[in-house]
Amino acid sequence: MWQFSSTIKGTDWGTGREDAGDIDMWNGTLDELKQFLKGGGEEDPEVPMDKVLVDIAQLEQVKKDVEAYRSAFAQFKTIFGELEEVGEKLTADIDTLIRTSESPESPDVPVPPNDTYITLFGLNVRSSPEVADNKVGTIGAGEVVTILDYDMKANGDLWGKIGVNQWIALRYNGQELAKEE
């Protein structure tokens, strides 16, 4: 008698119960099994020679399959290790690329001799130098403002900081919105 598993779920084999999971095989006929369970008769029932040969062939195939599995798993571990190494290098390369591609502030930021501007239009005051940022107030046309800091955008827009988290556009889409006083 061979026991294949004591952990397999019985419901997988149609028994209807989870705990009915022992999968065993009797290498003989039903009558021989009954005789064996009674404890009488031969201790080792005679197994037909062709059955022994089939089992030996199956055993040899299982051994070959196990060896093939071990070999494939060893190759997998090697390849996985190489993938991890390449992934780490790629991540480092991307980090380096990001760090080196960040351009410093544009040297075209104007440094006017006078930091006082007069608004040419009514302007929205934003929480940061972006049109899409929150509007925190307004300034009317003709008002004089002192610029504390500048932010020049790549497209030529120029923003001026007039207070804590308060920015106005001095030049937007090529149009002057305020001029030096």
Query: Environment class of residue 93 by beta-carbon count within 10 Å: exposed (0-12), middle (13-18) or buried (19+)?
Result: exposed
pLDDT > 60? residue 43:
no
Q: For 42, phi and psi rounded to 5 degrees?
A: -70, 145
What confidence score (pLDDT) does residue 117 get? 93
Supply the pLDDT for residue 135: 93
pLDDT at 131 exceeding the cut of 70: yes
At 56-112, the pLDDT tens digits run 778 888 889 999 999 999 999 999 889 988 888 888 888 788 877 665 555 565 554
Q: Give the integer Cα–Cα distance in Å for 33 and 36.
A: 5
Return the pLDDT at 95.
Answer: 79
CA-CA distance, 56 to 34, in Å (whole number)?
26
* Per-domain boundaries in the chain: 2-98, 116-180
For 49, other C-beta atoms within 10 Å of its C-beta total 8
The pTM score is: 0.39
**Is 80 exceeded by the pLDDT of residue 45?**
no
Least-confidence region, from 15-19, 69-73, 117-121, 145-149: 15-19
Is the pLDDT confidence value at 9 over 70?
no
In this predicted model, what pLDDT tens digit does every residue of 112-123 receive, in sequence order? 456 899 999 999
pLDDT at residue 30, as a whole number: 80
| pLDDT of 171 strictly over 70 | yes
Name the most confidently modeled range: 42-51, 56-65, 132-141: 132-141
Quick check: 10 and 20 in contact, CB under 8 A? yes
| Residue 8 pLDDT exceeds 80 | no
Higher pLDDT, 33 or 71: 71
User: Once rounded to an integer, what is the mean pLDDT over residues 42-68?
Assistant: 73
